[in-house]
């Protein structure tokens, strides 16, 4: 699983071409994802195939867990730039991790994969292009509603599946934190957000809480967060410094804390 996903994202670059799918294609994609979430893989395949997408059942060799993958049928086709979805095939989907800026926000894609591998009952949504690919900000899917990424996330939100969106930031003097935790566009706190911030701080990480302080990068313009607020779906926006998402103690503690959050959602 890990190699499959990371091999896909490794090739992303800022000079790559990228064109978002049109309205009708996004609608069909959402319909196909809905079929798969409802347990109808054959129906999903019928809807997705004309878009250049397929459904594949995978088994993780380490954990033995099974997943359904929605991915492009042709590695170099247009749909390959739209991203991928991985859904647990062993239970109902209880949570999803979102990686909107793979490679651009270094190591967020690898953290997302580890969380999927190590925590049951989840799903992973990975954007299909570098944040700066294409024209202007076309591939900045955290701030664009005209993306496959957004369509997939919204379909999960419609079913009440809470989401954890991972971001990364560069260290600087005006960001003296290892993590910025917020609800995105929602300025109120949630039990899960507060518990996550407490847990990270208990491990010695410096945390800025978006609901009680003026934090940089708290995701107030994030379109998936706005959609979650409208649909009353759980959503956490987490920005991580390099030390909290690569190798080392801070990254290990961060991964464990995020995993505990996902396990809480799994049990709800």
> In angstroms, rounded to a whole number, what is the distance separating the alpha carbons of residues 13 and 104?
8
Distant-in-sequence contacts of 3-7, Cβ < 8 A, 24+ apart: 4/58, 5/84, 5/86, 5/109, 5/113, 5/124, 5/126, 6/109, 6/110, 6/113
- Asked if residue 30 lies in contact with residue 153, where contact means CB atoms within 8 angstroms, the answer is no
Residue 103 tokens, joined: 């490679």
Pairing of strands 53-59, 84-88: unpaired
What is the Cα gyration radius of the chain?
Answer: 17
| pLDDT in the model for residue 260 | 95
Is the pLDDT score of 71 beyond 90? Answer: yes
Question: Domains in the chain, start-ordered, CATH in brackets?
Answer: 2-267 (3.40.630)
For 183, the 3-state DSSP assignment is: strand
Average pLDDT over residues 90-112: 97
Query: Mean pLDDT score of the chain, rounded to an integer?
Result: 93
Is the pLDDT score of 36 beyond 80? Answer: yes
Question: Predicted confidence band at 102 (pLDDT cuts at 50, 70, 90)?
Answer: very high
| pLDDT in the model for residue 187 | 62
Pairing of strands 95-99, 179-182: unpaired
- Asked if residue 89 lies in contact with residue 1, where contact means CB atoms within 8 angstroms, the answer is no
Average pLDDT over residues 47-73: 96
| pLDDT in the model for residue 250 | 92
Question: Predicted confidence band at 247 (pLDDT cuts at 50, 70, 90)?
Answer: confident
Average pLDDT over residues 49-70: 95
| pLDDT in the model for residue 170 | 87
**Residues 183-237 pLDDT 10s:** 876 666 688 999 999 999 999 999 999 888 888 776 788 999 999 999 999 999 9
> In angstroms, rounded to a whole number, what is the distance separating the alpha carbons of residues 53 and 152?
13
> In angstroms, rounded to a whole number, what is the distance separating the alpha carbons of residues 117 and 29?
25
pTM across the whole model? 0.96
Question: Predicted confidence band at 6 (pLDDT cuts at 50, 70, 90)?
Answer: very high
For 127, the 3-state DSSP assignment is: coil
| pLDDT in the model for residue 176 | 87
- Asked if residue 127 lies in contact with residue 102, where contact means CB atoms within 8 angstroms, the answer is yes
| pLDDT in the model for residue 172 | 75
Tokens 């319909």 belong to which residue? 31
| pLDDT in the model for residue 211 | 84
């Amino acid at each position: 699983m890990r190699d499959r996903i990371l091999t896909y994202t490794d090739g992303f670059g800022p000079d790559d071409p990228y064109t978002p799918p049109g309205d009708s294609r996004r609608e069909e994609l959402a319909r196909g994802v809905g079929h798969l979430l409802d347990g109808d893989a054959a129906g999903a395949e019928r809807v997705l195939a004309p878009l250049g997408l397929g459904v594949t059942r995978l088994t993780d060799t380490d954990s033995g867990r099974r997943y359904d993958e929605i991915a492009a049928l042709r590695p170099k086709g247009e749909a390959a730039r739209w991203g991928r979805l991985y859904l647990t095939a062993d239970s109902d989907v209880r949570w999803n991790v979102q990686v909107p800026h793979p490679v651009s926000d270094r190591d967020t894609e690898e953290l997302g994969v580890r969380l999927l591998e190590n925590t049951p009952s989840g799903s992973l949504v990975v954007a299909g292009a570098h944040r700066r690919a294409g024209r202007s900000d076309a591939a900045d899917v955290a701030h664009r509603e005209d993306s496959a990424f957004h369509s997939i996330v919204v379909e999960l939100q419609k079913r009440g599946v809470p989401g954890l969106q991972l971001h990364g930031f560069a260290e600087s003097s005006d960001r003296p934190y290892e993590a910025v935790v917020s609800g995105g566009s929602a300025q109120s706190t949630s039990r899960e957000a507060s518990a996550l911030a407490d847990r990270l701080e208990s491990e010695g990480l410096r945390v800025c809480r978006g609901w009680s302080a003026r934090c940089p990068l708290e995701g107030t313009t994030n379109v998936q967060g706005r959609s979650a607020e409208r649909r009353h779906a759980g959503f956490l926006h987490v920005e991580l410094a390099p030390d909290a998402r690569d190798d080392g103690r801070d990254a290990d503690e961060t991964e464990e804390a995020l995993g505990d959050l996902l396990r809480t959602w799994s049990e709800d």
